[in-house]
Amino acid sequence: MPSTRLASSAARFFWSLELMRDNWKAGTLAFAISFALLSISHNITALYCVVFVGLYVLLTCSSFSYPYKVALGAVLGVGLSAFYWLPALALKSSVHASSPWTMGSLPDRVLDHAIFWKQHLVDRWGKGPSISGPNDEFGITVGAVVLLGALLSIFALLQRGLNLWQRLRIIVLLVLFGFSLYIISPQMRWDKVPEMFLFVQFPWRLLIFSTFFGIAAFACAAPVLNRWMSPMGICVAAMAFSLPEMNWNMSIEPWWAHAKIQSDEELGQFFDYSEKLRFYVGSVAQEYLPNWVKPEYLEPSFHAAHPAPSNRLTLLEGEFLVTHYNHTGTSYDYDYVSGTDSIVRIHVFDFPGWVVRVNGIKSPEMMDRDENGLVRLHLPKGDHPQHVQLAYEISPIGRISVWISGGTFLLWCLLGLGFVISERKPRRVIVIDPKQVLLMPRPILIEQPVPAQSSSSPS
């Protein structure tokens, strides 16, 4: 599903690039929004889309200033989406997801899920996981319709009816189409690419771009192809080709349906069984578990042997009595009485963003991390009731990122307002009085004699 969301983002991305050629002001603003939406749609495929866009811009550069206008829109888009990608990059070393091994993104693992060239010749409509080899049952090929469109666009290049710019654009789109197919093929050398690009995990995710480039080349060849076929007929033929197989893809079942579960009780037993196998709903390898947390904390056996307190608090040192406890979302509030300075453990994973307040005052010096990766608080004594709150708000880099995105959005709005005002600014019109035109001196025409031709010259 995240890869599917990218399809609309990629189309909007390239549309704004073309808009920028005719109206750079509107195109720059649209490109910034497209870039931001692309960044928050699906991060790794968005990274690949940036590479494809860079190639497209350089290969179809229509003016010297065009790449700089694209760069301006990209900078605005990066700023608008900073709240999303900047904390992720800054904090990625804190979680297991920073390791390609944890994410199954080693070069050999990625290559196992490559799509063989012959697979594109046969459409498959089944279901199932991605497996090694050319025998996948579900639809991870570019499709016969896209292949036919790409072949017809090649045929259009050999015909009359296209100018130089139209031919160049079709050629570039076909080159990107072939390049994207090569990336997902077994011939791709994943051991030669930067580590960041290995997080694609499954190369067939890039079929979004293969499909887009193939169909875009097909559409750009319309000035020639429309002489032999109707655009409406092409759309109807494509839908007629795919509709008979829609029932395969629309019958979505829960991922545990294969276990033949008949009741809620059996479903609970199945979840318990899955936890013993370390197969958790939503995160198979627990890739977003902090690096300093022991993996056994997620084992059911550990919870059975070490049940967490009902108020998530354990006294480590001192005297400590909780008189009131409230838990709301990611906020834990305690009213306590203590005759001595105390050290307590809060049973939550430590991570940048936790804030402790004692009697309403931020007290970061009272919080640290224990040897188990959990939050530890050093609380002062108090004969009368004290109040301490532990709340997860936002990490420092996250707060900075939000300010960057907010400031960039304000700049985007100001630029848009400035562009609108500049377009509506009245232009200076020079009005000439007709009477003055009549009084202006008329130009004097001087006739030049035409040299006579020699008799030997041809008539």
DSSP string, 94-152: GBGGG-TTTTT-SHHHHHHT---GGGGGS---B-----SSS---B--S--HHHHHHHHH
Output the pLDDT for position 390.
Answer: 93
Q: Which two tokens stand for residue 183?
A: 């990336």
Q: What are phi and psi of 121, to 5 degrees?
A: -80, -15
Angle between helices 2-22 and 66-80 (to 10 degrees): 140
Residue whose C-alpha is closest to residue 14's, from 57, 66, 67: 57
The pLDDT tens digits for 211-241 are 889 988 998 898 898 888 887 887 787 777 6
Whether 442 maps to a domain, the answer reads no
Matching residue, tokens 């480590």: 316
Give the up-direction half-sphere exposure of residue 285: CA atoms within 13 A in the CB hemisphere: 13
Domain region containing 13 = 2-250
Residue 453: its pLDDT value, please?
54
CATH number (domain holding residue 355)? 2.60.40.1180
Q: What is the pLDDT of residue 248?
A: 46
Q: What is the mean pLDDT of residues 376-383?
A: 86
Residues 137 and 38 placed together within one structural domain of the fold: yes
pLDDT digits (tens, 9 = 90+) for 309-355: 889 899 999 888 898 999 998 899 999 988 888 999 999 889 999 99
Q: Work out whether strand 354-358 and strand 361-362 pair parallel, antiparallel, or are unpaired.
A: antiparallel
pLDDT score, position 459? 42
Co-location of 31 and 122 in the same domain: yes
What is the pLDDT at residue 273? 63
Q: What does the alpha-carbon distance between residue 425 and residue 408 come to, in Å, rounded to a whole number? A: 25
Lowest mean pLDDT among 88-97, 168-177, 384-393: 88-97
Structural domain includes residue 438? no
pLDDT for the residue numbered 398: 92
pLDDT at 411 over 90: yes
- The alpha carbon of 105 is separated from its chain's Cα centroid by a whole number of angstroms, namely 18
Mean pLDDT of 364-383: 88
Q: What angle do CA 375, 101, 36 make, to 5 degrees?
A: 75
pLDDT of residue 286: 62
Domain final residue, candidates 250, 268, 295: 250
Instruction: Tell me whether strands 382-392 and 342-349 are parallel, antiparallel or unpaired.
Output: unpaired
Q: Which of 198-202, 207-211, 244-248 has the lowest mean pLDDT?
A: 244-248
Name the band, by pLDDT with cuts 50, 70 and 90, for residue 198: confident
Per the rule left: phi > 0, alpha: psi between -120 and 50, beta: everything else, 241 is alpha
Claim to verify: residue 143 and residue 262 sit in the same structural domain = no
| Confidence class for position 446, pLDDT limits 50, 70, 90 | low
Q: How far is CA 334 from CA 65, 344, 366, in A?
A: 61, 12, 15
At how many degrees (to 10) do helices 24-39 and 396-424 cross? 160
Of the chain, the percentage scoring pLDDT greater than 70 comes to: 78
* In a shared domain, residues 82 and 49: yes
CB 166 within 8 A of CB 152: no
* Helix, strand, or coil (residue 307): coil
Q: How many domains does the chain have?
A: 3
457 domain-assigned:
no
Tell me: do 220 and 364 sit in the same domain.
no
Query: What is the pLDDT, as a whole number, of residue 334?
Result: 93
- Picking from 348, 377, 393, the residue at the C-terminal end of a domain is 393
Is 55 found in the same domain as 190? yes
The number of C-alpha atoms within 13 Å of 194 and in the hemisphere containing its C-beta is: 6
**Helix/strand number for the chain, H first, E second:** 16, 9
Question: Average pLDDT of the chain?
Answer: 80
50 pLDDT above the threshold of 80: yes
Question: pTM (2 decimals)?
Answer: 0.70
Look at the block and give the residue holding tokens 């100001």.
Answer: 414
DSSP 8-state class, residue 205: G
133-174: pLDDT as tens digits: 777 777 778 877 888 889 999 999 988 888 888 899 899 999
What pLDDT, on the 0 to 100 scale, is given for residue 173? 92
Are both 66 and 112 inside the same structural domain?
yes
- For the segment 355-372, the average pLDDT, to the nearest whole number, is 91
Total number of residues shown for the chain = 459
- Give the residues across from 225 on adjacent strands: none
d(C-alpha 285, C-alpha 167), whole Å: 48
Is residue 240 situated within a structural domain?
yes
DSSP state letters, 56-95: HHHHT--STTHHHHHHHHHHHHHHHTHHHHHHHHHHGGGB
- Whole-number pLDDT of residue 211: 85
* Residue-level pLDDT at 397: 93
Cα 307 from Cα 301, distance rounded (Å): 10
